Amino acid sequence: MKHFRKSYIITAVLLVLALVLGACTKPAPTKPVEPLATEEPKVQEPVKEDPVVGDIDCTGVKEGDAVSMLYQWSGEEEAKLTAILTPWMEACKTTVNPESSRDQALLDTRVQAGTPPDIAFWNVPQLTQYKDKLVPMDTLGANKANYAGYWGDIGTIDGKWLGLPVKADPKTLVWYSPAAFTAAGYTVPTTWAELDALVEKMAADGNVAWSLGMESGDATGWTGTDFIQDILLVTKGPDFVSSIIAGDIPYNDPAVKEAYEIYGKWAMDAKYTVAGAEGTLSTGFNDAILKVFSDTPEAFMVKQSGFASGTLLGTYPDKVYGKDYDFFGVPGAQGLQGGSDWLMVFNDTPAVRSLVKYLSSNKGGETWATIGFDLTPNAAGNAFYATEEMMKKAELLSSATGFTPDIGDSIPGGFGSAEFKGITDYVNGGDLDAILDSIAAAQADAMNQ
């Protein structure tokens, strides 16, 4: 008995240790190192005659002016942002006081307390949320000419242009192997009808077109709902998707049902996708990517975000872009879906104006693209990306006619998980009408709160 007790105590101590260690490995602290803010003030330089230094407009900025900012990036991403801001800081002799946190509650608290950061890099919904507190971009002198029209539309709330899009990562992509396509005599489709015909042709040839695996632990289903949103962008366009997000169109709309049926036709049939419904449900989303690029490929195409190239290179490092793997935008999609980050301004100061002008200028776009922090919506950056892959994505983005955030991420409460559960149940043979009704109920719930 004595020994028994002892072993319990040891186990308990180990458990406590494990907990403590677990607590220590928590994600990055909210307050990161401030690499540039702590620099010693520079020796006084003679006052410049011309406020424009190089391509950067520093009008009204006094040396040592600081801009406080809050964003969600940390680590490598944060370093990239710092690198992008460095030319501006050097030219205008300014500093930044950055804070990094993924917790939106922090931003909410600051804004409500009347002590917001000068600028915040956050998501689209915050433009509406803080619309009364934000300084319009026109006042700040942002250069609208560098942005496609739809960016202005998304950033305009109640007739005021409140947000500057700084970063975008489109997901409306289909990855394939050019080598395999050439060998089988297939060509990249340019319209939805062509894609449909290509899929049918592959099926007729006895080839499997899609690798649609959607398993992802308790988030199983998200590759499916991404696909649904892309189909909606093809059949209905970005305004329709935005209306779903706004709650104006219920999720059980006939067009959504049609999108599910188009998807379901492929996702549930072994003729079109790897191992049919069971394969779709049980294959992990990363495995689904690899199945297209393995030595004996099981499918010809996989619809996935930009990270697909990283996943496949992680397993097959010898694959070459353009030869072994490539992508095309979902053909016929009127607009893209993906993540985007927006600059919003709470305090109008000369330094903030200068920063906004810099990021929206040709120079700003060029720097963003050269550093390669995903894509910049600033069209001036298009020619400056480091890799062909980025170039092609940028082309896709600049030729797009709209940009929508992920529906599931944009509606709060239980909508996201209802959507995941819904598509999983549908592929598993559930009744589509009942499923869409239950997702629409979650959507209505969210609008009610």
Kindly list the residues in this chain that would bind other proteins in the complex (CB under 8 A).
217-221, 274-275, 278-279, 281-283, 291, 296, 298, 412-414, 416-417, 420-421, 424-425, 428-429, 434, 438, 441, 444-445, 448-449
Structure token pair of residue 119: 């600028």
Six-digit token string for 356: 């906004």
Alpha-carbon gap, residue 6 to 11, rounded angstroms: 9
The tokens describing 432, both together, are: 């589509």
Q: Which two tokens mark 299?
A: 């499918």
- Backbone conformation region of residue 237, classed left if phi is above 0, alpha if psi is from -120 to 50, else beta: left
Using the minimum distance from each CB to other proteins, give the nearer residue, 142 or 274: 274
Residue the block writes with tokens 């592959």: 202
Closer residue to other proteins (CB): 66 or 441? 441
DSSP state of 47: P
* Distance of alpha carbon 245 from alpha carbon 443, whole angstroms: 9
Measured from the CB of residue 445, what is the shortest distance to other proteins in angstroms? 7
CB of 414 to other proteins, least distance (A): 4
Residue 242: CB minimum distance to other proteins, A: 22
156-157 and 160-161 beta bridge pairing: antiparallel
Q: How far is the CB of 440 from other proteins (least distance, A)?
A: 11
The Cβ of residue 72 has, within 10 Å, a number of other Cβ atoms equal to 17
Q: Which is nearer to other proteins, 364 or 416 (CB)?
A: 416
* Per-residue burial over 183-194, b = 16 or more CB atoms within 10 Å of its CB, e = otherwise: eeebebbeebee
Q: Is 250 exposed, middle or buried (0-12, 13-18, 19+ CB in 10 A)?
A: middle
Which CB sits closer to other proteins, 128 or 282? 282
Q: How far apart are CA 140 and CA 135, in angstroms?
A: 8
What number of other Cβ atoms are within 10 A of residue 305's Cβ? 20
Helix, strand, coil abundance in the chain, percent, nearest 5: 50, 15, 35
Angle at which helices 362-371 and 75-92 pack, to 10 degrees? 150
Measured from the CB of residue 160, what is the shortest distance to other proteins in angstroms? 29
Q: Which of residues 335 and 416 has its CB atom nearest to other proteins in the complex?
A: 416
- Which lies closer to other proteins via its Cβ, residue 261 or residue 278? 278
Least distance (Å) from other proteins to the CB of residue 409? 12
Residues in Cβ contact with 360 at an 8 Å cutoff, skipping those fewer than 6 apart: 137, 142, 143, 144, 146, 147, 164, 378
Instruction: Spell out the residues 6+ positions from residue 233 whose beta carbon is closer than 8 angstroms to its own.
Output: 172, 241, 330, 333, 334, 335, 336, 337, 402, 404
Smallest distance from the beta carbon of 192 to other proteins, in angstroms?
26
d(CA 211, CA 300): 7
Among residues 129 and 378, whose Cβ is nearest to other proteins? 129
Pick the closer one to other proteins by CB: 49 or 218. 218
Angle at CA of residue 96, ends 71 and 145, nearest 5°: 70
Closer to other proteins by CB, 91 or 308: give it.
308
In the bound complex, what is the minimum distance in angstroms from residue 363's beta carbon to other proteins? 41
Name the minimum Å distance from CB 421 to other proteins: 7
Q: Give yes or no for a contact between 208 and 176, defined as CB atoms under 8 angstroms apart.
A: no
Closer to other proteins by CB, 306 or 408: give it. 408
Least spacing, CB of residue 101 vs other proteins, in Å = 17
